[in-house]
Amino acid sequence: MATVTDPRPTRRSTPVDPDVDLHDPVQRLELVTRPWLLPVVAAGGVMGASARHGIEVWWPPAGGGFPWATFVTNVAGCLLMGALMVVVVDGGPRHPLLRPFAGVGLLGGFTTMSTYAVGAEALQRSGHGLTAVGYLLATVLAAVPAVLAGDRLTRAIRRRFARPPGQGGAAQWIRDGTPHISGVLILPVALIGVGFAAPVVGLFTGAGAGAWWVAVGAVLGAPGRYLTDRAVQARHDTFMPWGTLSVNMIGSLLLGAVASQLASAPPGGLFGLPTDTAASVALLVGTGFCGSLTTWSTAGYEIVALARRGEGTYAVLYAVVTPLAVLGAAGVGFAIGAA
């Protein structure tokens, strides 16, 4: 009689930080044992940030209106992160670069905490305080359930197609083959994606050459988040995701300074640069680097993971502190940029 494995996660089997967990001996050494790790993270970041930029260009917010493009992007990314981590944690054999490419890079670059924070700060400063508060709350209240929805939907699909070992058929291929096939395809997909992400976004959304600057910024931002997260975890050995909170605050502060310069300087006068150069720098630093350095998908997953580990109080605290902290950092950035 076949043994049926309970697919539900246990408290301690769920990693809090989906980007990197230094409590895992394999992940602790992966910078040494996996030389392709940072390039793959960068490649995923380029693809995710390019897709986000394309959506923002195609669906720009009205003056003082709700930032629907960023909201939908962040919620969708959280849904996909919930699904991805089921495969990573409970999906059986998988390529070791799947998590860095799809989670740290692709979804980390696709979602953004800095744009969320600076967007809310800009709404508040322009006299649309109610919209800013609604945006802050709606994102939290939608992103966290989205992680749960992605998790539960993926587990339901796995249960639906699961078969005892040896029965074969399409269901067996879906359950056992997908992790291996995804691993084989990671590197070529990453390389092809980097080559086509910027020109495709530029062609179909009207982003033009700006898409290339976003891609360059993402090459630096996504690996920067991974490395900063590792460095913070190495100094603070707790279950609280201080690394993610740190990068989200840093990126929000930096983007706030850039946004403040854009708002207060003469047209094209960002940091005293010529018009074309200023626009390119804003895309590189703001949309590309800060957008990929910061992430909502990781933060949303961490809130759910804390609750699953029985740390409900910390989960609620983290869910409350994160928006307030990044909003405060964005406000400081605005003040620095205007000084």
In a domain, 13, yes or no: no
Q: For 31-75, write each residue's pLDDT tens digit.
A: 888 888 999 999 999 989 988 998 888 888 888 899 999 999 999
In a domain, 52, yes or no: yes
Q: Tally the domains of the chain.
A: 1
Taking residues 12-36, report their average pLDDT.
85
Indicate whether 337 pLDDT > 90: no
In a domain, 12, yes or no: no
In a domain, 210, yes or no: yes
In a domain, 17, yes or no: no
C-beta neighbour count of 229 within 10 angstroms: 26
- What's the domain range around 160? 25-338
pLDDT for residue 269: 53
Whose tokens are 């930080």? That residue is 17
Q: For residue 300, what are the CA distances in angstroms to 4, 109, 201, 223, 245? A: 30, 14, 27, 19, 11
In a domain, 92, yes or no: yes
C-beta neighbour count of 33 within 10 angstroms: 11
pLDDT bracket for residue 202 (50, 70, 90): low
In a domain, 9, yes or no: no
Indicate whether 330 pLDDT > 90: yes
CA separation for the pair 255, 176 (Å, rounded): 43
In a domain, 32, yes or no: yes
Which stretches within the chain are classed as H helix?
25-28, 30-33, 37-58, 68-90, 98, 108-110, 114-125, 129-161, 169-172, 178-205, 210-235, 242-264, 275-282, 291-293, 296-308, 312-338
Q: How many Cα atoms are found within 13 Å in the side-chain-facing hemisphere of 38?
A: 14
pLDDT for residue 197: 55
pLDDT for residue 54: 87
Tokens, residue 233: 């975890």
